[in-house]
Amino acid sequence: MRTEKRALVEELLAKNRDGLTITEIASILKISRNTVAVALAELRGADKIRLRDVGMAKLHYLKEGKR
């Protein structure tokens, strides 16, 4: 089930090229923020996403060609 959530997060980031916060991802997918954080950590470990700080927010982006 964990890989399912990670795949959902990855698909969502692929569709939203402007980047999303953890809260936005959790709200859209209707899963907990903690689950999103774990999925993002796994994707970051696999070097599939990049992170950009914008004020207090952290935007997550899927890296080009990493899908």
What are the structural domains, with CATH classification, of the chain? Answer: 2-62 (1.10.10.10)
Q: What angle do CA 36, 9, 26 make, to 5 degrees?
A: 45
| 43 token code pair | 């994707």
Task: Summarize pLDDT for 39-54 with one digit per residue, the tens.
Answer: 999 999 999 999 999 9
Average predicted confidence (pLDDT) for the chain: 92
| 33 token code pair | 């923020």
pTM: 0.89
Q: What angle do CA 13, 24, 46 make, to 5 degrees?
A: 40
Mean pLDDT by 10 residues, the chain (67 residues): 88 95 97 96 95 94 78
> Do residues 33 and 66 lie in contact, with contact meaning Cβ atoms separated by under 8 Å?
no
> Residue 2 has what pLDDT?
74
3-class SS of residue 61: strand
